[in-house]
A = this chain, B = another copy of it.
Amino acid sequence: MSSISTELRQAFLAADVRPTVQRYAVLHHLLRDGVHATAEEIFRAVNRQDPRASRATVYNSLKSLTRAGLVREVISEGKAARYDASLRPHHHFVCERCGQVEDIAWFELPAGKQALGARRVRSFEVVFRGVCEKCGGSQPRTGETT
């Protein structure tokens, strides 16, 4: 297994997180296109190859990475929390049928919406809910052959 890439190493250092191979492995898995994994899934994925990481370390890593802003917890339907890499901002769509969470291209809010009284807003995201394409999506009830 190769060492931690310079690019990610930079991200770790900039975020003041010690770059360990385990943390790297966790982030690496989440970086795979559109993955919204649970801690358990990450644990299994990471342990299919080197370096390994115990369950506790996966949780610890997710916590460090989340605190650092490299990862964030996404809205989840089930009980187990799901995470994704948050290097690029994006919104989310949650399917009410299958529970799948999809990434939505980033867009800004109308000016002024980010000012919320005396609160300091550091980030935001829009969470859409509905029916995904695979579960029915558009075509409300057209083309039904019955």
Interface pair A123/B119, CB less than 8 Å apart: no
A133 to B118, CA, bound (A): 5
| One of B118, B124, B129 near A124 (C-beta < 8 A) | B129
What's the Cα separation between A110 and B137 when bound, in Å?
22
Are B128 and A121 in touch, CB under 8 angstroms? yes
Task: Report the Cα distance A132→B118, complex, angstroms.
Answer: 7
Check A125 for interface membership: any CB of B closer than 8 A: yes
A144 to B122 alpha-carbon distance, docked (Å): 21
Residues from 96 to 146 in A contacting B, C-beta threshold 8 Å: 96, 102, 104, 107, 109-110, 113-114, 116-133, 136-138, 140
Q: Are B122 and A96 in contact (CB under 8 A)?
A: yes
A93 contacts partner chain B, Cβ-Cβ < 8 Å: yes
Cβ of A75 under 8 Å from chain B: yes
Residues of B within 8 A of A114 (CB): 128
How far does the alpha carbon of A117 sit from the alpha carbon of B116 in the complex, in Å? 31
Docked-complex contact B137 and A120, CB < 8 angstroms: yes
Residues of chain B within 8 A (CB-CB) of A104 are 116
Q: Is the CB of B128 within 8 A of A126?
A: no
Query: How distant is the Cα of A131 from the Cα of B138 in the complex, in angstroms?
Result: 38
B119 near A130: Cβ-Cβ < 8 Å: yes
Write the A72-100 contact mask toward B (1 if CB under 8 angstroms, else 0). 00010001010000000000010110000
A residues adjacent to B (C-beta < 8 A): 75, 79, 81, 93, 95-96, 102, 104, 107, 109-110, 113-114, 116-133, 136-138, 140
